[in-house]
Amino acid sequence: MILVYIEVREGKVKKSSLEVLSEAKRRGDELDQEVFAVLVGHGIESLAQEVGQYGAKKVIALDSPLLSSYSPSGYAYALAGLCKELAPGIIFFTATSMGKDLAPRLAAQLGVSLASDCIQTAVKDGSLEVKRPIYAGKAFATFRFKSSPIMATLRPNVFPLGPPVDGQGDAEKREVVVPEDQVRDRVDEVLKEEGIELDVTEAEIIVSGGRGLKGPENFELLRELTGILPHSAVGASRSAVDAGWIDHQHQVGQTGKTVSPNLYMAFGISGAIQHMAGMSSSKVIVAVNKDAEAPIFKVADFGIVGDLFQVLPLLKEELKKVLSE
Amino acid sequence: MNIFVFVKRVPDTESKIRINHETNSIDEEGLNFVLSPYDEYAMEEALRIREAKGGKVTVLSVGPEETRIVLKKCLAMGADEAVLIKEDTPELYDGLRTAKIIAHAMKTTFPDYSLLLFGKQAVGGDNAQVPVMVAALLGLPQANVVTKLEIEGNMAIAHREIEGASEKVNAPLPAVITAQKGLNEPRYETLKGIMMAKRKEIPVLTLHDLGLDEDTLVSQLELVKLESPPARQAGTVIEDEPEAAARRMVEFLRNEAKVV
């Protein structure tokens, strides 16, 4: 059986968890294994139906008032109990901030290795193989597993969402007893970041700026673009972040985030090796830079050599036109 | 406060990564190895806590003999002591192995700890597993990817970065905390620090010294293949009047790439 952890944030199922569930279903069909989904929290059983639509045969909600807000040790404790009982062959998480925090904790408790942030899964000779970027994408490593359960986290925005189907999945709510001393790192409060609607790791379009933007105020030009492009977020190069123009949360590259959006738009980014590592798996890349020799043009599908301050406002108007069609 | 900082020696972020397909490993020839960038934030935070609350900062690394260089840097930044756990096994990309070694060392050799600080990940393997696995193996609370940390009495109050927000976590010490960029601005080594670091001995522990049995550390991940990322083809690059250029880019996005 394949067990998929379904992440719940603010009472909603994370889309990337459903991507993982869809991928689990595809591999499960090949391996002839059923897929179970598990949610952890308090009063979340109503979400089971939505989860069932993506191929889970059974959706289990582990429920405790102590788990109403996230605690890595508490959630791992509850999940470890379930894993011991169900003995799944494979456990998948989404590689979000929660998945990356929780999966290693559970893996260590179960005494198994973990493959982080995978971008591909496949069945070879009857067993699972995963591919993951290392060195922020400067190389890819393919792994097989020598122990059970197999554990992996899968990168958001990479695996296609399966079509929802009607009325699948048995829902089951289970009250779990978690000792107080297993919940010592509970989240007290979630502090919303001003002006961030969507994280770069979750965005379908990233509008990114570098040193060529010349100052913090000009990131406003990028925000005007994200304002009209659906599911988009503002990104930045390391030099823009290190200059203090924009918060580190936006940084794309080896000491920032590795991203794979549908579209990456680079404005005034020359394309340092550590930046390119973090974004070169984007499906489409476009760039505007005044230097025709900038390395970014070697990876861009479409590039404009020119003054971004002239091009950006015109791009915005053109985009507005086609988006309203 | 008895603070431990865990660091790793990694190729710097400007490195080009080449693969040796015969040995199925990264070609280390010509790579410039440095202290992993996130570990610098962990080091700095440890020093600041010691300056505010008193105590001792011990830095620990699992790695080959060459790791001494990054340990010396940590001593030069101001760490009181550095210890090398010598591990000559080539990179296996298995976080559990390293976590087991660290957890075992803490239990048997350094049982008196109040805070374990790590970088949120080493740049390289990019696993981001070891700190959390150590927390699990030692039964400690964790706050991972932290951009703000306060120590009040016996509590760590940490802000950890999540998608578009932060989570505020109160965890009793001892706890595992991992540093994210933004936590602080790491200091440079001073000349005096470098001179002092030169004189300091770095004790070496082997897995055997720690009483670790290689059989219990065998990686459960089998590295099947290493490969370079698929090369991207350079596309169209135009130099045109801004109006025409913007229009052509949007046409490309709309009609060819079909992404807007």
pTM of the predicted model, to two decimals? 0.95
Q: With an 8 Å Cβ cutoff, are B237 and A297 in contact?
A: yes
Tell me what pLDDT residue A20 has: 98
On average, the pLDDT of chain B sits at 96
What count of other Cβ atoms lies within 10 Å of the Cβ of residue B156? 25
The CATH number of domain B2-217 is 3.40.50.620 = yes
What does A80-101 look like in DSSP terms, one character per residue?
Answer: HHHHHHH--SEEEEE-SHHHHH
* Residue B132 pLDDT exceeds 70: yes
pLDDT (tens digit, 9 = 90+) per residue, A256-289?
999 999 999 999 999 999 999 999 989 999 999 9
A302 and B252 in contact by Cβ < 8 A? yes
Question: For testing the chain A interface, which of B20, B170, B176, B259 should be mutated: the one with the most A CBs within 10 Å?
Answer: B259
**Residue B194 touches partner A, C-beta closer than 8 Å:** no
Looking at residue A197, its pLDDT comes to 72
- Give me the residues of B, 5-34, that contact A with CB < 8 A: 11, 13-17, 19, 26
Average pLDDT, chain A: 95
Both structure tokens of A125: 């000779």
Give chain A's end-to-end CA distance (angstroms, integer): 47
pLDDT confidence band for A195 (50 / 70 / 90): low
- Using CB atoms, pick whichever of A145, A184, A190 lies closest to residue B167: A190
**Could you give the ipTM of this predicted complex?**
0.96
**Best residue in B127, B216, B219 to probe A by mutation, most A CBs within 10 Å?**
B127
Q: Do B123 and A70 touch (CB under 8 A)?
A: no
Q: Which residues of B touch A192 (CB under 8 A)?
A: 164-165
CB proximity list for A267: less than 8 A, separation 6 or greater: A207, A208, A209, A210, A212, A213, A221, A222, A287, A288, A289, A308, A312
Is residue A165 very low, low, confident or very high in pLDDT (cuts 50, 70, 90)?
A: confident
Across the interface, whether the CB atoms of A191 and B11 are under 8 A apart is answered no
Please check the confidence at residue A167 and state whether its pLDDT lies above 70. Answer: no
Q: For residue A169, what pLDDT is reported?
A: 78
In terms of phi and psi (left: phi > 0; alpha: psi -120 to 50; beta: otherwise), the region of A59 is beta
Residues A81, A91 contacting (CB under 8 angstroms): no
Q: Do B166 and A191 touch (CB under 8 A)?
A: yes
Residue A174 CA to residue A314 CA, distance in Å, equals 56
Q: Select from B137, B243, B252 the Cβ nearest to the Cβ of A108.
A: B137
Which pLDDT tens digit goes with each residue over B15-28?
999 999 999 999 99
CA distance B11 to A324: 48
Provide mean pLDDT across the span A240-266.
95
Q: Are A246 and A272 in contact (CB under 8 A)?
A: no
Q: Does position A168 have pLDDT exceeding 90, yes or no?
A: no
Question: What domains does chain A contain, in order, with CATH numbers?
Answer: 2-182 (3.40.50.620), 205-323 (3.40.50.1220)
**pLDDT(B74) > 90:** yes
pLDDT tens string B40-61: 999 999 999 999 999 999 999 9
Q: In a 3-state reduction of DSSP, which class is residue B188?
A: coil
**What is the structure's pLDDT at B71?**
98
Cβ <8 Å between B164 and A108 = no
Confidence at residue A206, expressed as pLDDT on a 0 to 100 scale: 98
Q: What is the 3-state secondary structure (H, E, C) of A210-232?
A: CHHHCCHHHHHHHHHHHHHCCCE
Reference B171, options B150, B197, B202; nearest CA is B150
User: Cα–Cα distance between B44 and B39 in angstroms, integer?
Assistant: 9
Write out chain B residues lying below 8 Å of A73, CB-based: 135-136, 141-142
Min CA distance, A264 vs chain B (Å)?
10
Q: What proportion of chain A, given as a percentage, has pLDDT over 90?
A: 91
Q: What is the pLDDT of residue A163?
A: 87
Mean pLDDT (whole number) for A293-306 = 97
Chain B, residues 31-60, CB within 8 A of chain A, namely 37-38
Domain boundaries, chain B: 2-217
- Amino acid at site B260: V
The yes-or-no verdict on residue B104 having pLDDT over 80 is yes
The pLDDT assigned to A33 comes to 96
Residues A103-119 pLDDT 10s: 999 999 999 999 999 99
CA distance B39 to B118: 6
The whole-angstrom separation of Cα B98 and Cα B132 is 11
> Look-up: residue for tokens 């408790």?
A109
Residue B142: closest CA among chain A residues belongs to which residue?
A: A185
| Helix (H) / strand (E) containing B11 | strand B9-11
Q: Of the candidates B17, B99, B145, which has its C-beta nearest A138's C-beta?
A: B17
Q: Which of B26, B132, B165 sits opposite A104 (nearest CB)?
A: B132
How far apart are the C-alpha atoms of A253 and A231, rounded to whole Å?
20
Bond before A163 cis per omega within 30 degrees: no
pLDDT tier at A232, thresholds 50, 70, 90: very high
